[in-house]
Amino acid sequence: MDRHALSPPPSSAAAPDRLLSRRALLRQLGVAGALAGAYTLLPAAVRAAPAETNTGVIDRFPPGTGDRSQPVAAPLPFGMVGFELAGGTEVEFRTSPDGAGWGPWTLARTIAADGEGPDPASAEAGTAWRRMTHPVWVGEARWVQVRGAHGDRVRAHLIDPAGLSRSATARAAGAVLDTLTAAPAEAVPYRPQVITRAAWGADESWRKGTVGYAASLRFAVIHHTAGANGYSQADVPAILRGIYRYHTQTLGWADIGYNLLVDRFGRTFEGRHGGIERPVIGAHASGHNSGSVGVAALGCFDDSCHGGAVSSAMLNALDQLVAWKFALHGIDPYGTTREGSSQLPTIVGHRDVGSTACPGGDLYRHVRGASTPMSQRVWARIHGFRDVPPSSTFASDIAWIAAAGITGGTNPPANDLFRPKAPVTRSQMAAFLVRGLRLTDDAHPGFRDVPAGSTFDRDIRRIAKAGITDGCTTDRFCPNDPLTRGQMAAFLVRGLRLTDDAHPGFRDVPAGSTFDRDIRRIAKAGITDGCTTDRFCPNDPLAREQMAAFLHRAFR
């Protein structure tokens, strides 16, 4: 038995958390481990590999008139270009598809001058890349011209990630493939739908070394990638492949520098490998990569690169993404973090940590602007339950389990209430544990007081199959009874397989009593420090807000 203690009947205010469908659960879960479910719209057998990414180099630009070089025909059609400068930190360039009609002059600055790149002491730091500019998406081009620099001291690196050299038929098929692979993401509460590296065609053989992880995630750095803003949905996978190729093969970095990227259509993409839930160390803000998440907006939002306004879809996706990451890692959007000798807000633009205009004036206005800064918008998204005020003791715990998909709230269909003071029933706890532990095996005969096919039937059978419960009596589960704090300890000890009970215990839990060792084990694991200084209150019904704190600590 799981040593069920008699308790008062549950309050009628305790509306049960509705059981998520398996598909919805896989979309929302983000507790531990890798991404739950790849973002794919075509069967693996049908999907084709992305077009081969071709590269070329222009070694020098012959002198032309004034400060302009002569136009140079590239050795291959290209969609992205970066420059290697023998001197200086920037160059202006323009491109043409035919050598007759030219695009606008665009400024390209070196990555090092903007403070982007790996941390100085990291394995991927190197030095050669410091002469390189950012890669710039130009669409489709065959000619390039530079000005404002000695042409013989400029080298152009050309990338064709869209397969422009292919036949018209092959290119048309590839465009259809990219459109299908990168279809608009489905909106879900808290966690955005993240389009995986596999879906946008990342060649994993380009990566080098091992993934680096910080001890914790502390803040977010918002970037823009520069380049044209008028890209189509079908262009985006090629843009990502181009940046990835440039960062790894041209600059010599271990992987793409940004952790996550967002396009103007509001879609979110996995960047650097290592797990989107984890504090992966990127190469996006030199000296500030460890402990930060680098989120890049595809496009340019600064006058120097003819930038435009940030779309509402992009801004919404940025807010949603940062809110999810902050809720998952327990970061206060209004908080600060100490970085070296500086105290930084937990949400910054790249210009706040480097000598750069990034992420561009228009995007920076949305990040740190005085009217409605991102910190305010992110706070509102995290603390979305209208009965959980920001000042609540358990606000961050409730936000975390919501972001992790463990709860969707109550009051359907709005699901905008959490009912923090309501007791947790034993059946509700089964659902919370199934979502948090990702249990799928329900091959258990069940209990006679849980009708087959009822709301929590499969959840209860799953935790029974996992050995977390054997019922309140021989063949009963008592699904509607409130869960006590002592029972919660037993459930967590079994679910997490905790064995260390080297904790002094609490004065209201006698040594050798029913839940003594379970309570000491969760205390040793840091999941609880009691209901008061030296008491645990083992027989008290567990409130939903207390349950949130237990689960937050347990699953982090």
The letter for the amino acid at 549 is A
Pair (315, 433) in one structural domain? no
Triad 231, 236, 239: Cα angle to 5°? 95
Pair (376, 397) in one structural domain? no
pTM equals 0.68
Pair (201, 280) in one structural domain? yes
Pair (408, 430) in one structural domain? yes
| In-domain check, residue 2 | no
d(CA 94, CA 102): 7
Domain final residue, candidates 348, 380, 412? 380
Could you tell me the mean pLDDT of each successive run of 10 residues in the chain, 556 residues long? 38 34 32 32 41 84 88 94 89 94 91 87 82 91 89 87 73 54 44 90 93 95 90 93 94 95 95 95 93 95 76 91 91 89 92 89 86 79 79 83 79 77 95 93 95 95 95 93 96 96 95 96 95 94 94 87
| In-domain check, residue 430 | yes
Q: Tell me the per-residue pLDDT of 181-192, one tens digit each, with 9 for 90 and over.
A: 444 444 334 678
Nearest to 325 by CA among 171, 127, 231, 191: 191
Pair (61, 96) in one structural domain? yes
User: Residue 377 has what pLDDT?
Assistant: 82
Pair (154, 200) in one structural domain? no
Pair (211, 113) in one structural domain? no
User: Residue 354 has what pLDDT?
Assistant: 87
What stretches of 212-297 show up as alpha helix (H) in DSSP? 236-245
d(CA 177, CA 320): 27
The Cα-based distances of 389 to 386, 438, 501, 538 in angstroms read: 7, 29, 36, 27
C-beta separation of 469 from 491 below 8 A = yes
Pair (548, 411) in one structural domain? yes
**Which domain does 62 fall in, by range?**
54-160
Q: Tell me the per-residue pLDDT of 517-532, one tens digit each, with 9 for 90 and over.
A: 999 999 999 999 999 9
User: Residue 318 has what pLDDT?
Assistant: 95
Pair (409, 367) in one structural domain? no
Q: How many separate domains does the chain show?
A: 3
Pair (144, 282) in one structural domain? no
d(CA 461, CA 469): 9
Domain final residue, candidates 337, 356, 380? 380
| In-domain check, residue 315 | yes
| In-domain check, residue 173 | no
**343: Cβ–Cβ under 8 A, 6 or more apart, which residues?**
336, 337
CATH number of domain containing 337:
3.40.80.10
| In-domain check, residue 256 | yes
User: Residue 346 has what pLDDT?
Assistant: 95
Distance linking the first and last C-alpha atoms of the chain: 28
> HSE of 79 in the Cβ direction (CA atoms, 13 Å)?
21
User: Residue 258 has what pLDDT?
Assistant: 97
User: Residue 406 has what pLDDT?
Assistant: 86
User: Residue 171 has what pLDDT?
Assistant: 59
Pair (371, 440) in one structural domain? no
Pair (318, 362) in one structural domain? yes
User: Residue 51 has what pLDDT?
Assistant: 64
